[in-house]
Amino acid sequence: MSLPPPKPSGLSSLQGELLRRREEEFGRRRFDPGRKIQAIRPIYTLVGRAISTPGNLTTISAEAKSGKSAAMAAMMSSVMVPSDDTTRDTLGFWSSNPGGLALLHFDSEQSPDDHCLLIRRTLNRAGFEKPPTWFYSYYLTGLSAVESWKFVKDATVKATQECGGVHSILIDGSADLVIDVNDSAQSNAFVAELHGLAIIHDCPVINVIHLNPGGTKTRGHLGSQLERKSETNLRLEKDDEGVTEMWSDKQRRAPIPQGTGPCFQWSNQHDMHVSVQNPADAKSEAKASAKVEELKVFAQSVYSRVGKSASSRKDLISAICQIDGIGAQGGRHRFDRLRDTGVITADAAGNWIPTP
């Protein structure tokens, strides 16, 4: 009499389940030509340029005391400001949260009191006295790297359950969630988990990390890996006058070249950082203003040679050629310059007069 076939062991059943899950994973990750790609959904923009989108990482880097926490606070404020309120200074950042999804902020660098002060300034910048119910901000100081990372993941699960989803996750001091930022295996695994967190919750994860003292390189292997994996690498640079410029050149979308980025500076009057003009713009404007003054002086000499305060284009060009010793084409270019800069204006009769 033949014996019945052996029953599957627990191990083979487990192997079957693992194979089934693996097949599902293959199917989920394989290229699907029928998949519809959603249009880019900027969760955060800076001066109108997308810097953070769902499922991606953003890295903010700078030397110590350059305003990284202020920039992150302004990002959070921009989520809270109503879309029709244009009076709030969010340092160039924009966001919105019509669905009331969870906005999570983790501070690993500041004391409980400093953390509290930062959030109060964040609320004040947005015009709030109390935070929205979907806003979660925690300080992690005093926790180990392992405890901090676990706290971030647990808090994200909790907020997701309470709000139905995540708007964004901001980590001020991501290096404090890794035991050794120079350990490539540990850093790579951490960044991969961060990216997975962004993908699972369909949100951006914004990281703040220091530069090495006196250099332009972010801290350790962790900084290098974050820089490689981030869709935007936002750099903050503070000058001798205390003005911090935000710019980026290593990103997937439109860059914000250095010298053109938005700037902010501490204001004792407002008890927080406020937007200021980019020093490069101020220098450019000063240079342009000086050039206009130079052209006004030149225009005076041209009208003196013509001998009247209202003159035809032809007579002005002739006088310009005589003064500068140039040909007719050069004279026309100089006339166009006077006109385009507003130094001279056409009157009702069609003659040209010095602009009052």
Task: Write the burial class of residue 26 (CB in 10 Å: 0-12 exposed, 13-18 middle, 19+ buried).
Answer: exposed
* Under 8 Å between Cβ of 249 and 266: no
Output the domain CATH number for residue 341.
Answer: 1.10.10
Domain co-membership, 192 together with 72: yes
Q: What is the pLDDT of residues 175-192, one digit of tens each?
A: 999 999 999 999 999 999
How many domains is the chain built from?
2
* Under 8 Å between Cβ of 103 and 123: no
Domain co-membership, 103 together with 209: yes
Domain co-membership, 289 together with 199: no
pTM: 0.74
Domain co-membership, 116 together with 257: yes
For residue 294, is it within any domain?
yes
Output the domain CATH number for residue 175.
Answer: 3.40.50.300
Of 276, 296, 314, the domain-final residue: 276
Sign of the CA dihedral running 84, 88, 89, 94: negative
Please state the length of the chain. Answer: 356
Rounded average pLDDT over 26-47:
82
Domain co-membership, 216 together with 314: no
Residue range(s) defining the domain that contains residue 229: 44-276
Of 216, 247, 276, the domain-final residue: 276
pLDDT in the model for residue 5: 57
Domain co-membership, 308 together with 338: yes
Percent residues over pLDDT 70 in the chain: 94
Domain co-membership, 158 together with 294: no
pLDDT in the model for residue 218: 82
Rounded average pLDDT over 75-87:
92
Domain co-membership, 297 together with 271: no
Among 55, 57, 69, 70, smallest CA distance to 251 is for 57
* Under 8 Å between Cβ of 115 and 122: no
| φ, ψ for residue 208, nearest 5 deg | -110, 130
Domain co-membership, 333 together with 264: no
Rg of the Cα atoms in the chain: 30
Domain co-membership, 103 together with 141: yes
Q: What is the pLDDT of residues 332-341, one digit of tens each?
A: 888 888 898 8
At residue 39, does pLDDT exceed 80?
no
**Per-residue pLDDT band at 160 (split at 50, 70, 90):** very high
Of 276, 303, 323, the domain-final residue: 276
Q: How far apart are CA 164 and CA 79, in angstroms?
A: 17
Domain co-membership, 181 together with 260: yes
pLDDT in the model for residue 186: 95
Q: How far apart are CA 93 and CA 71, in angstroms?
A: 9
For residue 25, is it within any domain?
no
